[in-house]
Amino acid sequence: MEILFSSLGSHGHVFPLVPLAIAAREQGHDVVFATPDTFAKALTSRGIQHVTGGMDMLDGFELGNASPAARKAKDFDPRRVSKVFGSILARRHAADLVPIIVDHKPDLVVHEVANVGVALAARVTGVPAVCHSFGRYWLPSGPMEDIRLHLAEVAAEYGADLPDGDIMRFGNPYLDICPPSLQDRDFLATATDRLPLRPVPFAEPGELPPWVLEHREPLVYLTLGTAFTTVHVLRTAIEGLASLNARVLVSTGTIVEVGELGDLPDNVVVREWLPQADLLPHVDLVVHHGGAGTTMGTLGAGVPQLVLPQGADQFGNAVMVTEAGLGDQVLGAEVVAEVIADKARRLLTDDAVLDAARAMADEVAAMPSPADVVGVLPDYA
């Protein structure tokens, strides 16, 4: 069977799908993954055929005047977000993916939940599709009816109609990587064709600092992701965490340059990039932005979390973590070094939080693996 995967051009949207793609290839299926060229190396290094298609997600938001910086303005109109998802990104992905699907003739398309353009392309070409989540049940911050109206215009260009109901799932079976105990109750009660899938962290391969495997003092990992990182918040978090009796390992992502952080305390080590999937099992606390990939990966590692949300779905993930007793959050005016230090210190020593994190890791481990789910994908083709 040939399976075509495609997601929006963003680490947080591409990487959650890669474990399933790898499992499908390992079970003998022909796997093709359509993304912008940014992700070609990460995919081909794992034996997955890459084809160029779609648009970088941040480029789409820039075109729609809805960049992370623009969304912080008090007068920001959330309808801009609807236009980005329902028109700008959807139109580009549909235009790129229709000829790719026609050329490759896949038996099944796997689209991530934010990529309705690919879901539309599958419908237009008559290929069955399944929708792959990247975290907890997710809806964009823009008005959903506006997304439907924009997408209806795109669909009309292909002579296609839209399905009823949740437009982001596009009426397709839903591969759900969120642990059931954390999933939205209303969604669980109403979702049909939902197939649980264990969240497996993925990162490009690399080497960890040798001391990570041998550390005796607590190890705190700090990342603010690849989309919303700011020098100010990163510096503030480093200042607070450096006051702990711990080693602090920082990933700056792709936005902040290491040199912008200035002089660092001896117990802080900064890298532009770290193989996060390999790192998580070795840390004692993850301080992060609340991106779905980092949140889900940390759940599986059984590690407490301190979330400093910066935008998009990150605030919802912060609430999810806090309400489940898996960690804490720092919001707004609380984002100062002293508060971050106090909350991190508590999480490093709170047995109740650690027990909850370990129990969550057990729940994640009990979910069907990517290999298990690949075994039933032919039923959807």
Split into its structural domains, the chain has a count of 2
- 52 in a domain, yes or no? yes
For the cut 70, the answer to whether the pLDDT of residue 145 exceeds it is yes
- 371 in a domain, yes or no? no
What amino acid occupies position 253? Answer: G
Report d(CA 238, CA 235) in Å as an integer. 5
pLDDT of res. 352: 95
In 3-state terms, what secondary structure has residue 274? coil
Q: Do 186 and 214 reside in the same domain of the chain? A: no
Rg of the chain over CA atoms, in angstroms?
20
- 272 in a domain, yes or no? yes
For the cut 70, the answer to whether the pLDDT of residue 174 exceeds it is yes
Q: Which residues contact 110 (CB under 8 A, 6 or more apart)?
A: 3, 4, 5, 6, 17, 20, 21, 129, 130, 132, 175
pLDDT of res. 70: 64
End-to-end CA, the chain:
9
Q: Which residues contact 361 (CB under 8 A, 6 or more apart)?
A: 299, 300, 301, 302
Averaged pLDDT, 143-170: 90
Averaged pLDDT, 139-165: 87
Q: Do 246 and 336 reside in the same domain of the chain? A: yes
- 370 in a domain, yes or no? no
The DSSP letter of residue 209 is: P
- 376 in a domain, yes or no? no
Q: Do 214 and 320 reside in the same domain of the chain? A: yes
Q: Name the H helices within the chain.
A: 11-14, 18-26, 40-44, 57-63, 79-83, 89-104, 116-125, 144-157, 185-190, 210-214, 231-242, 276-279, 292-301, 314-323, 337-349, 351-365, 370-374
Averaged pLDDT, 278-294: 91
For the cut 80, the answer to whether the pLDDT of residue 139 exceeds it is no
Q: Do 52 and 189 reside in the same domain of the chain? A: yes
Q: Shortest CA distance to 288 belongs to which of 333, 252, 262? A: 252
Q: Which two tokens stand for residue 90?
A: 């959807």
pLDDT of res. 293: 85
pLDDT of res. 256: 67
Q: Which residues contact 132 (CB under 8 A, 6 or more apart)?
A: 5, 7, 16, 17, 20, 110, 111, 112, 113, 175, 177, 197
Q: Which residue reads 């919001």 in tokens? A: 331
For the cut 70, the answer to whether the pLDDT of residue 141 exceeds it is no
- For residue 225, give its domain range: 210-365
pLDDT of res. 348: 95
Tell me the range of 72-76, 108-112, 192-196, 210-214 where mean pLDDT is highest: 108-112
Q: Which two tokens stand for residue 38?
A: 């940014």
pLDDT of res. 224: 83
Average pLDDT, the chain: 89
For the cut 90, the answer to whether the pLDDT of residue 213 exceeds it is no
For the cut 70, the answer to whether the pLDDT of residue 66 exceeds it is no
Confidence of residue 72 (pLDDT cuts 50, 70, 90): low
DSSP letters, 306-321, are: EE---STTHHHHHHHH
Q: Which of 172, 197, 222 is the last residue of a domain?
A: 197
Averaged pLDDT, 247-261: 76
Q: Shortest CA distance to 231 belongs to which of 256, 207, 212, 249? A: 256
Q: Do 214 and 319 reside in the same domain of the chain? A: yes
Confidence of residue 12 (pLDDT cuts 50, 70, 90): confident
Q: Do 62 and 103 reside in the same domain of the chain? A: yes
By percentage, how much of the chain surpasses pLDDT 70? 94
For the cut 90, the answer to whether the pLDDT of residue 68 exceeds it is no
Q: Give helix then strand counts, H and E, for the chain.
A: 17, 13
- 246 in a domain, yes or no? yes
Q: Which two tokens stand for residue 6?
A: 């495609």
DSSP letters, 162-191, are: PPSS-TTTTT--EEE-S-GGGS-HHHHHH-
220-246 pLDDT, tens digit each? 999 887 656 677 788 888 888 988 989
- 372 in a domain, yes or no? no
For the cut 90, the answer to whether the pLDDT of residue 372 exceeds it is yes
Confidence of residue 310 (pLDDT cuts 50, 70, 90): confident
CATH of the domain at 54: 3.40.50.2000
pLDDT of res. 228: 61
pTM above 0.85, yes or no: yes
74-127 pLDDT, tens digit each? 767 778 888 988 899 999 999 999 999 999 999 999 999 999 999 999 999 999
Q: Do 233 and 322 reside in the same domain of the chain? A: yes
Confidence of residue 251 (pLDDT cuts 50, 70, 90): confident
Averaged pLDDT, 317-335: 90
pLDDT top residue among 352 and 66:
352
What amino acid occupies position 299? Answer: L
Q: Do 182 and 234 reside in the same domain of the chain? A: no
For the cut 70, the answer to whether the pLDDT of residue 142 exceeds it is no
pLDDT of res. 217: 87
